[in-house]
């Protein structure tokens, strides 16, 4: 089983990892968006600690 790389992720990195569009990904993380500091419409980078939270919420991307 291959595990996803943990590191700094951009919003685009998350979308590419899960194979979805930005609007779809934003719906998926709506429950944790505030907790992880997601700001719609802005470029952002997320540290490994936040990446792990997203993976825990959605499951690791394949």
Residue 32 lies in a domain: yes
Residue 9 near residue 46, CB atoms below 8 Å: yes
Window from 3-7, 31-35, 54-58 with minimum mean pLDDT: 3-7
- Note the pLDDT of residue 1: 40
Number of domains in the chain: 1
The model's pLDDT over 11-45, given as tens digits with 9 standing for 90+, comes to: 999 999 999 999 999 999 999 999 999 999 999 99
Residue 2 lies in a domain: no
φ, ψ of residue 9 in degrees (nearest 5): -120, 140
Give pLDDT, residue 4.
Answer: 77
Q: Is residue 16 part of a domain?
A: yes
Q: What pLDDT, on the 0 to 100 scale, is given for residue 62?
A: 81
Residue that has been written with the tokens 């993380």 in this structure: 29
Contact between 36 and 54 under an 8 Å Cβ cutoff? The reply is yes
Q: Across-strand partners of 9? A: 46
2 band by pLDDT with thresholds 50, 70 and 90: low
- Answer yes or no: is 1 within a domain: no
What is the span of the domain harbouring residue 14? 9-58
Span 1-19, average pLDDT: 88
């Amino acid at each position: 089983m291959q595990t996803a790389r943990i590191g700094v992720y951009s919003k685009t990195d998350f979308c590419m990892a899960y194979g979805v569009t930005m609007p779809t990904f934003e719906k998926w993380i709506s429950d944790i968006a505030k907790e992880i500091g997601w700001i719609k419409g802005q470029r952002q980078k997320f540290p490994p600690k936040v990446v792990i939270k997203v993976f825990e919420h959605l499951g690791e991307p394949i």
